[in-house]
Amino acid sequence: MRNLFWLFIILLTIGCKDANVQKELAEMKAEKPVDPKKLKLPSSCEMISQEKIKEIFKVKAPSVNLKDASDPADPKSKSCFFQWDDDDTPNAGIMIQLQTNPVFDDYNEYISKFVTSKLTEGETMLGDDKPTIYKQFDAGGADGAYSFQQARFYWNYGNNYLVMLAFNVSTLSESQMVNAAEDIAEEVNKNFIKAVR
């Protein structure tokens, strides 16, 4: 009986944390565009732990290496590579990029329209004649879009923040990549909200 009580408390605590994340995401979605100079942009390397990456991708290598790939001259964007050794994929890893609006003065709704445009207009890559139309992606309660062909996922926090997740893991099927992205998005959302709220 005592074990059931503690299990109930643990589940209740987890449920409250998820509800808080959902509440914060809803509030961010309703916020008006803010000048990026007034926004806090946390480090992308702090959005997910190496242990969580190892768990999601079942990494057998002893460690996951982090490399901050942010451009110090660009305060509106922060990037981080998470890389590990894998026999089937040279330089296996992911990149997480956090971004505020790079064209705020000209188009202050750029961030909120970004994901929608990937779903409707797509993205044309160098050398392609036709754009790749993205599919809808549930990024843990945030609006998202993804392309398996481009191995790229985007989601936004309202009008002010955009997240990009790119994969370099050749062994994943589309459903496996989406599942991994969902797990990553859930973790990024929690850590992002902690960092900016």
Q: 145 pairs with which residues across the strands?
A: 136, 154
The pLDDT of residue 1: 54
**What would the pLDDT profile of 78-108 be if each residue is shown by its tens digit?**
999 999 999 889 899 999 999 999 999 999 9
Overall domain count for the chain? 1
If you average pLDDT over every residue of the chain, what do you get? 91
Containing domain of residue 96, as a range? Answer: 2-196
- pTM of this structure: 0.89
* Residue 11 CB coordination number (10 Å): 10
Low-confidence ranges of the chain (pLDDT < 70): 1-17
d(CA 43, CA 96): 10
